[in-house]
């Protein structure tokens, strides 16, 4: 391909010859420029979509937020259901153990007042209501 440049400033016309390698390089440069421009426009539009008052962008942004909210709600629901199933299994196991404990207590001859299965058992944990005591070796001797 020949390109002829004609200008009033030049004494004679110039000719530029482009072959296949130069045309391929030119095409790659144009494609790279277009992709870079499209990516930059996409980034800028999404970055400032909340500030720009364009209805189409607002609906896209709200749609993406709604979709993310639905995914997180679904994930939380699944985890809550799994925990509820596990809690039910643990409660069933506890009822079995209480029943077994009552039977064993009757067979072993314990008095009913020694083991009361109908009341909640004591619970461990941090003692925050008691005043702190300094327990040094002098207190035990």
Computed on alpha carbons and rounded to an integer, the radius of gyration of the chain in Å comes to 40
In order along its 141 residues, the chain shows pLDDT tens digits of 777 778 777 778 888 888 888 889 999 999 999 999 999 998 887 777 667 777 777 787 788 899 999 999 999 999 999 999 999 999 999 989 988 988 888 888 887 667 776 777 677 666 655 555 555 554 444
CA pair distance 68, 45, nearest whole angstrom? 20
Q: What is the pTM of this model?
A: 0.43
pLDDT of residue 29: 96
Tell me the domain boundaries of the chain. Answer: 16-47, 54-113
Q: Give the DSSP H/E element, type plus range, for residue 17.
A: strand 14-17
């Amino acid at each position: 391909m020949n390109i002829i440049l004609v200008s009033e400033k030049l004494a004679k016309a110039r000719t530029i010859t482009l072959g296949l390698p130069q045309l391929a390089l030119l095409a790659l440069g144009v494609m790279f420029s277009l992709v870079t421009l499209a990516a930059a426009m996409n980034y800028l539009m999404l970055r400032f979509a909340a500030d720009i008052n364009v209805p189409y962008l607002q609906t896209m942004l709200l749609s993406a937020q709604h979709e993310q909210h639905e995914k997180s709600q679904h994930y939380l629901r699944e985890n809550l259901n799994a925990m509820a199933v596990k809690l039910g299994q643990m409660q069933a196991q506890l009822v079995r153990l209480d029943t077994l404990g009552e039977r064993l207590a009757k067979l072993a001859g314990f008095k009913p007042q020694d083991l009361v299965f109908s009341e909640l058992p004591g619970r461990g944990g941090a003692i925050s209501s008691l005043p702190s005591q300094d327990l040094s070796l002098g207190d035990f001797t």
